[in-house]
A and B are shown apart, each in its own frame.
Chain A
Amino acid sequence: MSRLKTMVRNQHGVQPLRGGHALCQGCGIPMVVRTVLSTIDRPAVVVNATGCLEVATTRYPTTAWNVPWLHVAFENAAAVASGIDAAQAALRRRHALPADTEVAVVVFAGDGGTYDIGLQALSGALERGHRFLFVCYDNEAYMNTGVQRSGATPFAASTTTSPAGLESFGKAQQRKDMTAIAVAHHLPYVAQAASTYWHDLSVKVERAAAVDGPAFLNVLTDCPLGWGHEPRQAPHVIAAAVESCFWPLYEVVDGRYALTYEPQDVLPIERWLEGQKRFAHLLRPESEELRNEIQLTVDREWAGLRARCAADAKGARP
């Protein structure tokens, strides 16, 4: 059965996230949510950090969720998930839950609730080894509050709190490598994925959901409003990120790195920059130095990642 048909079947006739929510026309987030929840073949409980997904899907008295769902606050989704994981283990131990079913604990958080304000709770939960899947839908800024810069915003991107202007070229700092931060917690499974590379994402979800411990997925997700592109251009915009190696697709299994996708012809960074209004100022002639800097950084990091993957494939690391 094809992967998509399996995902349809896993839903058992009920969409985990249904229509009638207030996410933007063409929002990139629901595809990630539905890919994740339809790939996991057992029931799931969702913990959602404050952000676009949470606010837009649960305005009282509506809910777009057909799965158990909790929202507590912005920075603590991983801590709430820790509590649910501990509860499930405790209840199973004293036979208070049906023996045959294990409920998957899944966190959805934006980059703000992962890289920045959510970092402490996430780090603690990863270190304690809870059984849960943390999915960051990384659209590279605080979108729900109006496109403010986060620790995930790329260098030189224009946001409302790092605007490009006469005396500013946008965000002055590099993005954090959140995937590397997760790897540093010695997890069984970490991966970087992208929303429209859904097959790759689904395979990763399957692997993540199978581990006995924490798993972290960092999923590049488009925001038509915040990035400045037509919603229907999403597949092309995300493709530019992946094919230019700005956002490589890879996984780290018990500390061993492996690419899950290698572009045949690496696109120059301009292809990634040109589709989005947040980078428009970088395409001017006077921004050549900035473009070169971005290209150099991408090249260096891509080379480093390939070398790491090659070394790990050879078994050079214990």
Chain B
Amino acid sequence: MAQLKDWQELPPGGLVTPADALQPRTGDWRTAGRPVVHYESCINCLLCWLYCPDSAVELDGSTLSGIDYDFCKGCELCVEVCPTGALVMTEEAA
């Protein structure tokens, strides 16, 4: 748990830069499994990338390379829009 800053440590006006920001791991919002990529079926249409509200679909260039489970909330939109069924909701990893 990050230490809360003293008032003297606050940047004037509360300005936050992306590098200083402490993003919470919203992946722990998931309750009903996680989307898993079956790469053999993936055609890199990038629809899942666009639809994901949490920017959790990772790309290498314009190739799907994974899901960031630190931030995926499990909304299943990627599964819904995938045209080939390459994304499947699966039980959480142990």
| B71 with A19: CB separation less than 8 A | yes
| B23 with A20: CB separation less than 8 A | yes
| B55 with A34: CB separation less than 8 A | yes
| A8 with B77: CB separation less than 8 A | no
Q: Mark B1-20, 1 if CB is under 8 A from A, else 0.
A: 00001000000001011101
| A30 with B54: CB separation less than 8 A | yes
Interface of B is mostly: loop
Q: Mark B62-82, 1 if CB is under 8 A from A, else 0.
A: 100000101111111101110
| B18 with A8: CB separation less than 8 A | no
Q: Which residues of A contact B62 (CB under 8 A)?
A: 4-5, 8-9
For chain A, give the interface size range: 35 or more
Residue of B at shortest CB range from A4?
A: B46
Q: Which residues of B contact A4 (CB under 8 A)?
A: 45-47, 49-50, 62
Known interface pairs A61-B5, A62-B16, A232-B80. Does A29 touch B24 (Cβ–Cβ under 8 Å)?
Answer: no
| B55 with A198: CB separation less than 8 A | no
A25's partner among B25, B55, B73, B79 (CB-CB below 8 A) is: B73
Give the total of B residues in contact with A, Cβ under 8 Å: 39
Q: Which residues of B contact A235 (CB under 8 A)?
A: 77, 80-81
A61 CA / B22 CA spacing, docked (Å): 6
Asked if B21 is at the interface (CB within 8 A of a chain A CB), the reply is yes
| A231 with B55: CB separation less than 8 A | no
Asked if B85 is at the interface (CB within 8 A of a chain A CB), the reply is no
A26 CA / B32 CA spacing, docked (Å): 13
| B23 with A232: CB separation less than 8 A | no
Q: Which residues of A contact B79 (CB under 8 A)?
A: 232
Asked if A190 is at the interface (CB within 8 A of a chain B CB), the reply is no
A4 CA / B51 CA spacing, docked (Å): 11
Whole-angstrom distance between the Cβ of B11 and the nearest chain A Cβ: 10
Q: Which residues of B contact A25 (CB under 8 A)?
A: 29, 53, 73-75
B68's partner among A19, A34, A231 (CB-CB below 8 A) is: A19
Q: Mark A234-260, 1 if CB is under 8 A from B, else 0.
A: 110000000000000000000000000
| B26 with A62: CB separation less than 8 A | no
A31's partner among B16, B21, B53 (CB-CB below 8 A) is: B53
| A234 with B77: CB separation less than 8 A | yes
A70 CA / B66 CA spacing, docked (Å): 31
A121 CA / B70 CA spacing, docked (Å): 39
A18 CA / B18 CA spacing, docked (Å): 10
Known interface pairs A4-B46, A8-B46. Does A18 touch B55 (Cβ–Cβ under 8 Å)?
Answer: yes
Q: Which residues of A contact B47 (CB under 8 A)?
A: 4
A222 CA / B53 CA spacing, docked (Å): 12
Whole-angstrom distance between the Cβ of A245 and the nearest chain B Cβ: 23
Residue of A at shortest CB range from B81?
A: A235
| B59 with A8: CB separation less than 8 A | yes
| B71 with A20: CB separation less than 8 A | yes
Q: Which residues of B contact A2 (CB under 8 A)?
A: 46
Residues of B bordering A, CB below 8 Å: 5, 14, 16-18, 20-26, 29, 45-47, 49-56, 59, 61-62, 68, 70-77, 79-81
Q: List 23 A-B contacts (CB under 8 A).
A: A8-B49, A8-B59, A8-B62, A19-B55, A20-B70, A20-B71, A21-B54, A25-B29, A26-B53, A26-B73, A27-B53, A31-B50, A31-B51, A34-B55, A60-B16, A61-B5, A61-B21, A61-B22, A62-B16, A66-B18, A231-B75, A231-B77, A233-B80
Given contacts A25-B75, A231-B75, 5 further A-B contacts (CB under 8 A): A19-B56, A26-B73, A30-B53, A63-B16, A235-B81
Pairs of residues from A and B, 6 with the lowest C-beta to C-beta distance, nearest first: A20-B23, A19-B71, A26-B75, A232-B80, A25-B73, A19-B54
